[in-house]
Copies of this chain bind each other. A is one copy, B any other.
Amino acid sequence: MESFTSEKEYLQELASRSALPEGFRAATAAVRFFPRERTLAEPLAMNLSLIALEEATASFAGVFTRNRFPGAPVLLGRERLARPASRGVLVNNRISNVCTAHGRQDAEDLLEGLGAETGFAGAEYFAASTGIIGWQLPVAEMRAAIPGLVAGLQASTILPVARAIMTTDAFPKVRRARVGGGSIVGTAKGAGMIEPNMATLLCFLCTDVAVDREILREELAWAVQHSLNRISIDSDQSTSDTALAFASGRRGAVSRDELREGLLAVLGALAGDIVRNAEGGGHVIRVRVEGARDEATGLGIGRAIVNSPLVKTAVHGNDPNVGRIVSAVGDYTGNAGLALDPRAMLVRMGGVEIFSAGCFRLDAEKEKKLSTYLHDCGWQAGLKGYPPHDRSVAIDVVLDGAAPPVEVMGSDLSCEYVKENADYRS
């Protein structure tokens, strides 16, 4: 169990996780600009971030959103996966480069600018954007910042990048795992619009072990499927979701099993960080579904619970309104046309049985116990710069089918979420 009592404590821990693997450099730069789409008195601030390999690598991988209106960096990134080698990724926050008249050209121009400054082909870089959808990138201002960005590359830490890619995130997120003779270090941003098949989530992984390109791609896809794709904050999948991994190979080879374990450790922990950081959230909800008839049904049930606004608001209020959990399961299975016999379902919250053999199992004492449990699992105010603890509200659904257990994580729903999203752009 992890807990922090101050931002300083959290940042100390983060610093220890943030050392860049061998063969990587990182830098950030600030940009100020006036958007074309809104009249403002003061310019807006944007951050550019660069993660660059010292030498081009053939071992790189990417997983992208399934949204049908992907951003230009996603479209470009899918193509660039076919290239023989890559040198890294250029990231901006504040505006997500999606469906604008020259979005593709804008992304290419920026990477050409980066290539010119570093002396390599622009096509060897990936781009990633996050922020407001529908606005155009301030390309001139961004290009002007690239020389300073490249000049600032350093080999010691990914922490400035973890900060610079944040949008509504309350705290930077970095995780690391040892693997073979080296390490995997990952950072991610994302706090809302989080739903399976990636969040508005940008995630960048660097490792200094040597791994075959195809193996890295398969293992990244598998690990994303079992981590980032099993969290859900508000059921919205963004246009720009991107996870990229690069391997420098400096620290020798690693077994496939070790790689898988390391990727899952880093991505699973980052997924937890993202849910804990859910916009305005006050609880993490962790639903475990055991004995569904197949994995997809188990995941569907878990998501139905963590996505139900009624479950989310009840948990937010520390109210063990467990009827809503059962109703969410019945709603999902009913709409999906899946058979489900209420007599074959058991539901627990915090280990306490609340439904079995077709009936609720509630009494005044249990209700009181569950209220206290919910209170203890939460945090009272919004997150201010660090996650206070990693406790979560455990909901177990046990069915009589044969599928192995699956787990889905989500956040509660608070007033702060609504406020944050009611005028995100102002």
Contacts and interface: CB of A to CB of B under 8 A. Distances in A.
Interface of A: 36-39, 65-70, 96, 98-101, 132-135, 192-193, 195, 197, 234-239, 307-310, 313-314, 316-319, 321-324, 326-331, 333-335, 338, 340, 342, 354-355, 358-360, 362-364, 367-368, 413-415, 417-426
A74 to B, nearest CB: 11
Contact of A236 (B134, B309, B354, B415): B309
Contacts of A321: 132-134, 424-425
Contacts of A355: 99, 134
A317 B422 contact: yes
A331 B67 contact: yes
A67 B236 contact: no
Contacts of A313: 417-418, 420-422
B101 A134 contact: no
A133 B364 contact: no
- Most chain B CB within 10 A, of A67, A132, A192, A308, is at A67
A331 B36 contact: no
A319 B66 contact: no
8 contacts: A38-B364, A38-B367, A99-B342, A236-B310, A236-B324, A236-B327, A237-B334, A314-B421
Given A68-B334, A135-B362, 6 more contacts: A37-B362, A65-B334, A66-B334, A134-B322, A192-B310, A413-B418
A362 B425 CA distance: 14
A376 B238 CA distance: 29
Contact of A422 (B316, B329, B426): B316
A249 to B, nearest CB: 34
Contacts of A417: 309, 313, 418
Nearest to A339: B68
Given A68-B340, A359-B100, A133 B326 contact: yes
Given A319-B422, A358-B99, A418-B313, A328 B236 contact: yes
Contacts of A367: 37-38
A67 B327 contact: yes
Nearest to A426: B319
A101 B134 CA distance: 53
Nearest to A334: B66
Contacts of A421: 309-310, 313-314, 317
A423 B67 contact: no
Contacts of A331: 67-68, 195, 236-238
A162 B272 CA distance: 46
Contacts of A319: 422-426
Nearest to A415: B415
A322 B133 CA distance: 8
Contacts of A132: 321, 323
A33 B8 CA distance: 53
A301 B159 CA distance: 40
Contacts of A101: 359
B418 A238 contact: no
A237 B335 contact: yes
A334 B67 contact: yes
A368 B426 CA distance: 13
A291 B382 CA distance: 43
A326 B239 CA distance: 9
Contacts of A415: 415, 418-419
A100 B334 contact: no
A241 to B, nearest CB: 10
Contact of A309 (B70, B234, B324): B234
Contacts of A323: 96, 98, 132-135, 239
